[in-house]
Amino acid sequence: MPLALVVAPNGAVMGGFPTKFTGQDLLNAFGTPCTEQCMKLLQDGKLVFLCVQNAATKSSGDAMKGVREFKADQRFASATEVVMLDPADSAEAPFLSDLKIDPKTTEAITVFLAPPGAPIAEFKGATEKTELVATLEKAGSACAGGKCGPNGCGPKNP
């Protein structure tokens, strides 16, 4: 059976077509730089904090506080990555649209992504490590017996 894959320059698989497809289907599979970066990290089994902020957004430092503390925790450090996205970057508009985030946001937004690739939470403004850990635990408990994927829920530490 023929199969066409769309692979980003960083190796992220952005789309797969096991049946007929159009040129537009292929074009729609390409992502923004941040989309590709997040997809690659998720495909590598990492947790991702997508931090949507710039110099003009309020609470940017407070939004990073919990994220930095979560990433510094030895339980999560090797399985967590942080991706910064400037909401004013027009190249990222399609990704922001997919996430239903207004590119004109005036407040920092943190999107918590977990494998296989779904956002598990979105936070406006400040983040706290305890809330981020609780969000991850809640997302993991939503899987029947922790077996929502072939390797269970979320990333495994190497």
The backbone torsions φ and ψ at residue 4, rounded to the nearest 5 degrees and listed phi first, read -115, 135
Backbone φ and ψ for 12, nearest 5 degrees, come out as -70, 135
Domain map (residue ranges) of the chain: 46-146
Cis amide leading into 158 (omega within 30): no
Quote the pLDDT of residue 75.
Answer: 93
For residue 27, the number of C-alpha atoms closer than 13 Å in the C-beta half-sphere is 3
For residue 93, give the H/E element and its range: helix 93-98
Task: Render pLDDT for 101-140 as a digit per residue (tens, 0 to 9).
Answer: 999 999 999 999 999 888 999 999 999 999 999 999 998 8
Architecture of the domain delimited by 46-146: 3-Layer(aba) Sandwich (3.40)
Structure confidence at residue 70 as a pLDDT band (50, 70, 90)? very high
Instruction: Determine the Cα angle at 97 with ends 81 and 6, to 5°.
Output: 65
- Can you give the pTM of this predicted structure? 0.82
- Please indicate whether residue 155 or residue 89 has the higher confidence score (pLDDT): 89
Does the pLDDT at position 35 exceed 80?
yes
